[in-house]
Each structure stands twice: as C-alpha cells, then as structure tokens.
Structure 1
C-alpha cells in the first residue's frame, strides 16, 4: 500500500473523528452553562435592593393581624407551623409567594407596614388580607357583602396606596414635600399580588352584575399600578387571579354538577377568566402610556391549573381538599375553619395544594414561585427582566451579582469562536489533501497534517478549561 494511501486514511479518520467529537462537545458545554441550575437554586443576588408588595391575604405578612380585621381564619396555631413554627401574620402554614420572591433576590422577608419598629431598608409590605379592589363605599351603598371571613366593612386598595404615600413621606422623602420628591426606584421591584378575589367572595350569591364588578375591580387594580408608576416605579409585577373555583370554599358553595375536567367549580372560574383577560388587556394599554417601564403579568391562573393537572408530578396528593379544617368532601366547614377548636390538621401539609379552604400551602406557593420565575408563567418572561437588570445567578463560578457581567454568554461565544476555528483548520487539511493528491505530493499532505494537529491541539484543550456553572443542593 502506498504512502499516499496511508496518509489519506489518516486524514479521513482524523477529520471524521473531529467532526463527530467537536459539535457534541460544544453542545455539552452549552448545556452545562445554561441548564445545570434548578429553579429552586437560582438566586439573583443584587438584582433588586428593595421590594414593595400590595395585595390581599396571599401577600399580607401581618397587616390584617395588626388591624384586627378578620372575624375567622384567626392567626391561631397551626398557622405558620411549617416554616416559622409559630403564628406570624401569614394565612398559610408557612411562607407565602412574596416570601419566595424575597428569597429569590436574596432579600429579607418583607415586614408589614403596620409594624412601626421594623427595618424597612429593603422594602415594605402594604398588602391586607381580605382587602377588596372596590372601595368600601361600594359595599355600603349597595348593601352587599358576605361576611364569611371578614368584618362587615373591608379594607380596600385605597388604604394600601395611602400607606405607600405615608411611607414615602416618612422613610424616603424625609423633610421634603411629596410633590418635590423624586425617589429613585430603578433597583426596586413592585409586586402587586392578586387583588379582587375578596370582591367576588363578598358578592357571591348577591344580585350584582359580574360584568360590572369585573370592570370596576380591574380598573381599581390598574389605578394601583398607575399610582406606583407615577411615583417613580420602573419594574412592576402584577398577579392575575387564581382559579378560585378550585378552592374548597367555592367548591362547597357551588352545585355539585357545576364541575370542569379538574373537578373545579366551572361558573366561578369562568368569571375569573374574564377578569384576567381584561386585566392583561388594560396592562398592555398602561405600558404603552408609560415609556421606559417594565410591567409584567404573573399568570396565576395557568400556573395554578398546571400544577393541579399534574399534581403528583409536583409532589401533591390532595389537589382540592383543605389540609386544615373539618368535615365534608373538601375538609371545609364554615363553622369550623382552620384555627378553631374543632379543626384538624393533615399529617403532611406539603402534600396538599390548599391549606385552609382559601389559602394555598407553603408547598404550593413554592411551586407557583418556581413556575413564575423559571417556568415561563410571567409575561414577558421573567428572564427578560433579569437580563435588563444585568443580573446572574449567584451559583455561577464567574460573576456574582449585578456588578458582574453575564459570563455564561461570553464563554459560550468563545466556545463558538474556537469551534469555528477548528472547522476552518479541518477545511484547510481537506483542501491541502486534495491539492496534494492531485499533484501526488506526499510531503505537502504530511506537512499540512502535522501543522493541523499542532494548531488544533490548542483549541481542543481550550474546551476542557471552559468554566461551568456549579450544581448546588436544593434549598428549603
């Protein structure tokens, strides 16, 4: 066999090896730099230095308790049992969604505004459990209002915005007229939790036009958003309403025949769908009106139902039954709610979606938070906001916080560059080979092949020294 034939075999084998190895290796590098972190381990340190929250019982961390506004679902144990080991102003067994939001940005839990001795250096929580989006006067004027859980006259969104202005005057614009004060909220996130659920609960069964109620409720939520934007807010997240027809309270009130494919109250959920659709439409209009701001919508409805559809996948065994309560198919009784002397707590709240008939468990809030942040259930995607803040996950080996560039994209670019250079070298060898064989010059083939091996070696070694993100254990 001739030397030319031997050399051609060497070249063909070498090229085949490189073409098979290099793309797959580059592909693995890309995967390692983008998907090694699970949702629960991504913490965006330094993206936002302040967090301000508004909403109802799904967001309130103690304001309603201070006001004494609830007539049932009192803050007695076992509320708070899972995480805090004691009652703490939250209507769940542990942390709420807003607590996981704070953890995501490496911020402390938000203190309620009514706690006058709290440290508000990282933000404040203005949400009030049982708060309505409609003004109190509406319920007085129309003489409607179911008082299952709350006092006759509820707090409303106006109270929260009034508190916010007082907070600005007392903590940010000290000694200045609010009209002359221009606070900087470039690194603050404003979280408007679901608001409007209490309005539908209060008017359930009354002769109130749901269409008119929906329009008023959405309009008042948008008033909150505009108030925040007019005050200087740059980043606002607005939650839609959850499918309350899947809550034990609504399931207990609705006819047994009124069920959808998930076993939820169909008519109640149809109202919520209309509410959420209108809210998204109005938010888009607001964003067009206010330039240079980010308004995001957290799709509570779809995220919640996604978990219900595959509840076993998310670690739940009871999608519709309350963990804490007494009696009936859904472990819910108006006369023996969670916290009362006759209520019973399930052995493992983490297996239940619902805590007390109205409020999700900590485990459910955590699953929802993961879907909002990393599951694509925010519109636009939450990653877009993170990129605009120039933040990276703190678990990456390179970069830590907003003052560091996103090195993952940089190294990916280097990988592509070097891979391209390798391909060029392969092309040179192929070209040289055909040139050499055409003129029967074995020395040309040999010299080009040796040069290729030397040059490629440097690029090949580069792939092994690329930085990768570190897998970290799940956090509680």
Structure 2
C-alpha cells in the first residue's frame, strides 16, 4: 500500500498528541493545577478550530463542487480515513485528526467544516484548511510566490470566516460574549506552512527562514488577541512539529547534509533549530498574553514539538503509553541517513529508497533542484496521476537511465 504524502498522518500519532492537550485542558479553574483524567475536563458549549491540514475536517473539499478538482486531492482517496471512517473523509490522516479526539473527549460532536452547507455550527465548527498560513498570502506574493496552494485561507481569513458565522452560532454580540466564554478555541498550530513556503518554494536555508520567524509569531499573537476581543476565554495554541524529523525534509535535504547535521535520532539539526526558535518565541508570546489577560482568559500552549520528538527518540514507550486506550496500528519509517526501514522492532537495510516517483517522499536527485522542491509542494495535494507531478523530460531520462543501469 502506498503512502501518498507527508500529509497522511497515522491516527496513533494524532492520538498521542491528544494526550498532552487533554492534560492541558483538564485544569478546571485556571490555577495551573491539572488532572490527566477526562472526567476533570471542563464542560464546553462548543469547540472552534483554526489552522491547517493538521486540524482540517473538510474545508478544502467543501469549498469546491468540481469533481475534477476534488479528485486530484489525495485526501479524497484511500488510504485516507480507513482506520475510523472506513473511507476518505477529506481529513489528511488515515483516521481522525487531533480535534476529532478532543471533541470526543469533551463529549462534543465532530466539528464540521465552515464551508459545509446546511450545517448546525452551534456545537462547533472548523475554519482550518489545507495550506493555511500565519502570514497573509499578499506577504508571500511579494516574495514571488504565486502557487494558490498557499492561498486557501490564512489566519486572518479564517478569523473573518468565524466572524461571519457568529450570528448563526450565538446570536447577538452580547449573547456571543456569554456563549463563547464557555467554548474552547483551538488556534493552530500555525507556522508549519509558512516555513514550507520558505524552505520548499523559495529554497531558503533554515537560518534564512529564521529572519521571518518574529513576523510569523507576531501574526499568531495578533490572531489570539482578535479571538479574545470576540469573546474567547479558553484558547489552546500549539507549537509546530520538529521539521528536521519530518520524512519530506529528510528525503529532500538528507543526502546533501553532512554527518554533523544529524542528531542522534537521525533528525536534521538545522531544521529542528528553526522549529525550536519558532516555538520558543511563540511560547514567550503566549506567556505574555496570559499575563496581560490573566483575569479573564486562559491561554494554553501545547508542546507538539516535545511530544513528537520524544516519539522519535522512544517510539516503543509512546506506543505503550497509549495502547491501553487505543488499539495498535502498523507503521513504517524510512531512515534516510542509514538507508534503513524500521518496521516493528527490527531494522531492514535497503539498497536505495523505493518508489522514487511516489509523491515526493523520495524525489529524484535527492531533492537538490528547485524544480524538485516545487513539485514536492504540489505533491502534498495532488493525486499521483496528475500530469503536473511528472518530472521534466531530462530528469525522466536520467531516472530511466539510472533504473536501466541498476537492472544490468
């Protein structure tokens, strides 16, 4: 079974992230004391979510009625959705996403996408959409980015979508202040796609991308302030994943990296430093906002980086921690550094990465060309049969020549 892209996430990984979020939300009085039991969770009227494909529940599909457009989205094809819904549900996961687990833990229904027709949004709604960024598209357009993938709905755009829906959710401004005070807001994590644009489309180094981090974090902080002004009281703000551990970045940049660029887990240190810098600035902003609004608002930072990195370090321990609650799943990880595949408890050495044309997980030329990076960004959204994914003629000839040589 092919794994279509780095947007296909294991529900086991997602469920692990939820453990931390549930623990963070278990404090009933905002005093800082928490309980890890679901019974200690607050009772919320609703849950409202913002972000990108990590939290999307179908906006990218609901926004289009064109079957051809929908067909090129890999999330509309198996194996997406297979472990829970039994079919693709326009979620970039093989089952439920983070907000689905949170909703179930809170006794709330799954949040429908804000673009869905005829839905009741009073118990919750998702503004999250694939390609969502902290910065507005006009900012990236000024840097030469034209790809509409990054123009589906920025942070500001999603807040505007929510403002339009508010009358149908809670009525008047006064009644909304009361209703939203007892609702949960999941805000992000924003920033991942901002760095995807810079690293994959613009070809910046992690050090160069750091120059834009203060702007990105400032945009997230401004977004939190806007939600508070609308009446939000309970806000969860996740950081972003360790970029240097993501398969797409290991595939694209691992071959050109030196031995000293890898940490002892096989992750790329320069890319993780970028993520650490982003998360450290974000956490400082969250702390500052909490101090500013300490009498009225509870802002909770969710450390996605720390949890995912611990999973990379000790996957067996994380699996053991959740297996009592969740049934086990299968998983396979390509270790680019050593050309190994870790499966279960063993390691199996391979001669070269397999399925070189498989949605950019193992791109031709090791991802060393700008054209490769652009196709990788496209491959996160397009179906394998889409003609835009075919490499240029010269590159195809090179790949065919390499294949013929190996078969001799």
SS in 1 for 2:290: helix
Q: Aligned partners of 2:290 and 2:271: how far apart in 1?
A: 29
Once the two structures are overlaid, the 10-residue window that deviates more, 248-257 or 49-58, is 248-257
CA contact (8 A) 1:44 1:105 kept: no
Give the superposition deviation at 1:170.
2.9
Q: Aligned partners of 2:115 and 2:122: how far apart in 1?
A: 15
Alignment-derived partner of residue 129 in structure 1: 130
Q: TM-score, normalised to structure 1's length?
A: 0.56
Alignment-derived partner of residue 262 in structure 1: 265
Alignment-derived partner of residue 24 in structure 1: none
Per-residue displacement from partner, 1:303-358 (whole Å, max 9, x unpaired)? 001111111223376355799x9625995454877984589xxxxxxxxxxxxxxx
Instruction: Map 1:221-370 onto structure 2 (within 5 A).
Output: 221-256=220-255, 257=258, 258-290=261-293, 291-315=295-319, 318-319=332-333, 327=355, 332-333=362-363, 334=376, 340-341=383-384
Q: Aligned partners of 2:187 and 2:62: how far apart in 1?
A: 21
Alignment-derived partner of residue 82 in structure 1: 83
Name the CA shift for 1:119/1:44 in 2 (closer, same or farther; >3 Å).
Answer: farther
Alignment-derived partner of residue 216 in structure 1: 215
SS in 1 for 2:284: helix
Alignment-derived partner of residue 15 in structure 2: none
Instruction: Map 1:56-95 onto structure 2 (within 5 A).
Output: 56-68=52-64, 73-95=74-96
Q: Aligned partners of 1:78 and 1:246: how far apart in 2?
A: 23
Give the superposition deviation at 1:166.
0.6
Give the superposition deviation at 1:55.
0.8
Give the superposition deviation at 1:117.
1.5
RMSD: 3.2
Alignment-derived partner of residue 103 in structure 2: 102
SS in 1 for 2:131: coil
Give the superposition deviation at 1:119.
2.5
Alignment-derived partner of residue 191 in structure 2: 196
Name the CA shift for 1:183/1:212 in 2 (closer, same or farther; >3 Å).
Answer: farther
SS in 2 for 1:142: coil
Alignment-derived partner of residue 415 in structure 1: none
Per-residue displacement from partner, 1:18-56 (whole Å, max 9, x unpaired)? xxxxxxxxxxxxxxxxxxxx97x8355762221111111
Q: TM-score, normalised to structure 2's length?
A: 0.65
Gap regions ≥5 residues in structure 1: 1-37, 344-476
The structure with the largest alpha-carbon Rg is 1
Q: Aligned partners of 2:59 and 2:77: how far apart in 1?
A: 15
